[in-house]
Amino acid sequence: MSNDALGRLAPHFFQVAYVIRDLEAAEKWFQRIMGVPYFARSEIVLGEGCTYRGEPADSAMRLSLGFAGEVQIELIESLRGQSIYSEFMAAKGPGLHHVAFSVPDFDATVAELCAAGLVPIQEGSFGDGRVKFSYFDCEAEGASVIEILGFDAATTAAMEQMKQAAKPAARKA
């Protein structure tokens, strides 16, 4: 990957994500140890329009999203099906899974990473296309999996609102 590509990606660092076994226990730990004031939970089903290792995806997970300062913390509990999360848990157990970049031009960024020789291992969208994602395995280079995120304007605003709301709550803790 060229230095130009890294320079365009690095400013959009957004999230650190962990695959965990027990969502509620992980939330409590991250609140107590890292000071994440609160988490917003959701359940996501990956199906139509999503792929895992080039095949149609059929999996589900529970997510918790919170903010530690400027960085979003994502906790992922795999519920069913084959995915990069269930694969990670089976191979390594719980732990740091990926870092994510929220980019202004999702399609161009993904195309650039593919042109640089990286292969998407899981990709698609959810929320009626409001959230696009593509994961790339960078472990051979000594890095974690990276995720490229593309949010619509409403989702970007909601994430910013969540981050701003967490700041006073974190100061009180």
3-state SS string over the chain? CCHHHHHHHHHHEEEEEEECCCHHHHHHHHHHHHCCCCCEEEEEEECCCCEECCEECCEEEEEEEEEECCEEEEEEEEEECCCHHHHHHHHHCCEEEEEEEECCCHHHHHHHHHHCCCCEEEEEEECCCCEEEEEECCHHHCCCEEEEEEECHHHHHHHHHHHHHHHHHHHHC
Q: Which residue has the higher pLDDT, 169 or 146?
A: 146
Place of tokens 């230095």: 3
- Mean pLDDT over residues 122-128, rounded? 91
For the chain, the domain total comes to: 1
Adjacent-strand bridge partners of 126: 131
Confidence of residue 4 (pLDDT cuts 50, 70, 90): low
Which CATH number does the domain housing residue 101 bear?
A: 3.10.180.10
Mean pLDDT, to the nearest integer, of 121-145? 92
pLDDT reported for residue 129: 87
Sequence-separated (6 or more) residues with CB below 8 Å from residue 158: none
Kindly state the average pLDDT of the residues 115-134: 93
Give me the mean pLDDT over the 104-117 stretch.
93
Q: Which amino acid is at 109?
A: T
pLDDT class for 6, splitting at 50, 70, 90?
A: low
Q: Domain limits at 80?
A: 3-172
How far apart, in whole angstroms, are the C-alpha atoms of residue 130 and residue 42?
15
pLDDT of residue 5: 56
Residues whose CB is less than 8 angstroms from the CB of residue 57 and which lie 6 or more positions away in sequence, other chains included: 46, 47, 50, 51, 81, 83, 122, 124
| Sheet containing 13-19, strands listed edge to edge, beginning at the edge strand earlier in sequence | 40-46, 59-68, 71-80, 13-19, 95-102, 145-151, 131-136, 120-126, 51-52, 55-56
Residue 7 has pLDDT above 80, yes or no: no
**pLDDT tens-digit series, residues 27-69:** 999 999 999 999 999 999 998 889 999 999 999 999 999 999 8
- Reported as a pLDDT band with limits 50, 70 and 90, residue 152 is very high
pLDDT at 171: 64
pTM strictly above 0.95: no
pLDDT cut 70: percent of the chain above it = 93
Given a contact cutoff of 8 angstroms between Cβ atoms, the answer to whether 97 and 76 are in contact is yes
